[in-house]
Structure 1
Amino acid sequence: MLKAPDPKELARRIAEAQALYKDRKSGIDHFAEVDPVSGRPISKYIDGGVETFPVPSAFEVLPVYFEAIALGNTLHPLGLVQVGLDFHGNPQFELYTHRPAQVQKLALDKIAADVTTQYTKEVEQHNEAFIQQQVDAQLRVDAAREERTRVALEAEKRAEVEKQIRETFKPVEAVQATAPAKVSKRS
């Protein structure tokens, strides 16, 4: 059947994509894609609503926090997360923040436009595939109908030709000839 764009489905897809953006960490994902030839991972920049700031030591938490707030970011529920140790065994941290609202709004609007375009394209591809499927089915039905008609006409023509041949070449009545008797010679 042909599909029409469903506003509820579109709204659901947009909401899912936007929710994924809001909770995704911005940065380089070293396993974002896989090279189809070698199978190795390919790094790629991923855009998200969460931005992290590296904090080299516990003494620099407040300066990094104030710098992030000055950029318009707001604190994420994760807040400060220890990510490892430096060369000397001192803890290293990342400060999790939400990106500024205007940056998120631009990204969310772009996501909505991209999802709408993709959904519309999917519906058009589905409709085109359905139409091609129906055209192929109708052509198969027409070809079968034409084949049945052709076979019936050939059978009818064959019967007519056979009838004419049988009328033209009637069997000749066979004359029964008596075979001469064999004479046997005895000495």
Structure 2
Amino acid sequence: MLKSLDPKELARRIAEAQALYKDRKSGIDHFADVDPVSGRPISKYIDGGVETFPVPSAFEVLPVYLDAMAAGNTLHQLGLVQVGLDFHGSPQFELYTHRPAQFQKLALDKIAADVTAQYTKEIEEHNAAFIESEVQAQVNIEARRQERELAEAAAKRRAEIEAEVRAAYTPQLPVEEAKTATPSRVKR
């Protein structure tokens, strides 16, 4: 069956992709992809609506926070998260913030365009595959019909030839052989 662009399905896909973007942390994901040959993880940059700022020590939380807010970011619900210890044993933190709204709007518009293009491509590929399968089915039906017609014509022609041959050649009457009396040996 041919598919057409479903606005509800498209809106659902766009909303899912945009929600995933809004809650995703920007940065390098070391397990973003897998090498198909070796099976090893491949790192790549992932774009998201959450941006983190490293805070080397607890004393630098406020300056990092003020710099992030000056850049237009807003505080994420996670806020400040301890990510480990430095080599002296002092805690290290990351400040989680949402990216500026105008930056997110550009990214969300690009996501919507990408999802729309991908959905349109899926529908076009499905329709092309469906049309190809229907064309192939019709070609197969036509080929079987032609084979059947050829077989029927061949059978009819064979019957005609057989009738001609039977008419041309009449069976000869068998010549009676002279019966010779040969004594049979019978045991008594």
Q: Distance in 2 between matches of 1:24 and 1:140?
A: 51
CA distance in 2, matches of 1:46, 1:130: 36
Q: Give 1:15's aligned amino acid.
A: A
2:22 alignment partner in structure 1 = 22
The one-letter code sitting in structure 2 at the alignment partner of 1:74 is: T
Q: Deviations over 1:87-116 (max 9, x none)?
A: 011111000000000110000000000000
Task: Among all aligned residue pairs of Structure 1 and Structure 2, give the percentage whose two residues are the same amino acid.
Answer: 73
Counterpart in the other structure of 1:2: 2
Structure 1 residue 168 corresponds to structure 2 residue 161: no
Task: Measure, in 2, the Cα distance between the counterparts of 1:35 and 1:154.
Answer: 59
Give TM-score scaled by structure 1 length: 0.96
Q: Could you tell me which runs of 5 or more consecutive residues in structure 2 were left unpaired when the two chains were aligned.
A: none
Q: Deviation of residue 156 (structure 1)?
A: 0.4
Counterpart of 2:98, as a letter, is H
1:123 maps to 123
**What are the ranges of 5 or more consecutive residues in structure 1 without an aligned counterpart?**
none
Question: How high is the TM-score relative to the length of structure 2?
Answer: 0.96
Q: For residue 176 of structure 2, give the secondary structure of its aligned residue in structure 1.
A: coil
Aligned-residue Cα RMSD (Å) equals: 1.1
Distance 1:148 1:89 in 2: 86
String of CA shifts for 1:109-148, please: whole Å, max 9, x gaps.
0000000000000000000000000001001111111111
Q: Size of the alignment, in residue pairs?
A: 184
In structure 2, the residue matched to 1:32 is 32
Q: Which residue of 2 aligns with 1:43?
A: 43
Q: Secondary structure at the match of 1:151?
A: helix
Name the CA distance, whole Å, in 2 between partners of 1:182 and 1:45: 112
TM-aligned CA deviation for residue 179 of structure 1? 3.0
Pairs within 5 Å for 1:1-187: 1-182=1-182
